[in-house]
Amino acid sequence: MSVQHEAPRTGVRTSPGVGSPPPRRLSRRHKELAWAVIFLAPAIIAILTLRIAPSIGAVISSLHRGFPGGVLEPVFSGFRNYADLLANEAFRDTVVRTVVFNVIINPLQVAIALMVAVLVTRKIGAPGLWRTLIFIPATVPIVGSSIVWGVALRPEGPINAIIEALGGTPQPFFTSGDQALASIMLVLSWIGIGYWMLFLISGIQSIPEEYYEAARLDRAGPIRTFFSITIPLLKRPLLFVLVADTVANFVVFVPIQMLTNGGPQNSTTMQMFNAYRTTYTYGSKNLGAAEVVILTLIMLVFVAIQFRMLREDRPTRSRR
């Protein structure tokens, strides 16, 4: 008689393929990845074709020297285009003018937009009406706004008529080398302040009301509340607005072309307009590409400084 020995039962059942994900979960992950690729593909293609490829093309073109009219093929010249630009006094003046222009207009526009956003989020009558009125200029195409301001600020325009009716002296505005750049700033601020205001209003409304209630209990005034609560909790929207406004003002083109064409006496010639004129008016494609590359580098420096100034403080871990 044989005795059969049974293996002790441990109560643990083993299943095939231990350690591998279930087929159903793996299939779901593949589906999610496929849908992610489908939705992201148009944006990625647009970025590659409209941003990355032209940027690489501009860098490559800036390292070559061509001939007006395209009679001969461009030849590799290294950094000769950059050296010629930096040796040109008119180009250096344009770069300085562009930097000074942005140093003035960017903080000015963001500060006014922030002030307006704070005012319309307070308990005032008909806040929706005020927001609509301030935002209306942003809905008008920039070409239309340029035409309107060109008519309003011309020597015989309505603004000078009002100034003269009040006993003042009519101003030249766009026809004066001393006032043309400030007039361009006025047009750009008219267009941009209402647009940037919307982003800041959204950021202010996302701040929890408990912080403001605590400030009122501590008897903090409006100025202290603004700098101690609103500004610190508004860093992300503020950074976005400042960076986007900086990029927009560095590449400003339409108002300058329509209202002053870079004059009078190059007083409103910005770097973007200068690159356009070099490329299409003077026919120097490679030199214009070098100007665009320099403009991009300057703009990246500005953006990096802004990120540095408005970065959020990370909490430090205490060491035991």
CATH number of 126's domain: 1.10.3720.10
What's the pLDDT band for 128 if we cut at 50, 70, 90?
confident
Tokens read off for 12 = 């643990």
Flag whether 67 is in a domain. Answer: no
Domain extent for 147: 94-309
Flag whether 142 is in a domain. Answer: yes
Per-residue pLDDT at 316: 45
Lowest mean pLDDT among 67-81, 232-246, 269-283: 67-81
pLDDT in tens, 161-197: 999 999 999 999 999 999 999 999 999 999 999 999 9
Per-residue pLDDT at 107: 93
Flag whether 315 is in a domain. Answer: no
Flag whether 40 is in a domain. Answer: no
Overall number of domains in the chain: 1
- Please report, to the nearest 10 degrees, the dihedral formed by the alpha carbons of residues 281, 284, 285, 287 taken in order: -120
Flag whether 171 is in a domain. Answer: yes
Per-residue pLDDT at 312: 63
Flag whether 33 is in a domain. Answer: no
Per-residue pLDDT at 148: 94
Flag whether 84 is in a domain. Answer: no
Per-residue pLDDT at 31: 84
Flag whether 79 is in a domain. Answer: no
Per-residue pLDDT at 126: 78
Could you give the percent of the chain with pLDDT greater than 90?
Answer: 66
Yes or no: say if 212 and 228 are a contact pair by the CB < 8 Å rule: no
CB atoms within 10 A of CB 207: 15
Per-residue pLDDT at 313: 57
pLDDT in tens, 66-115: 765 556 688 899 999 999 999 999 999 999 999 999 999 999 999 999 99
Yes or no: say if 247 and 260 are a contact pair by the CB < 8 Å rule: no
pTM of the model: 0.82
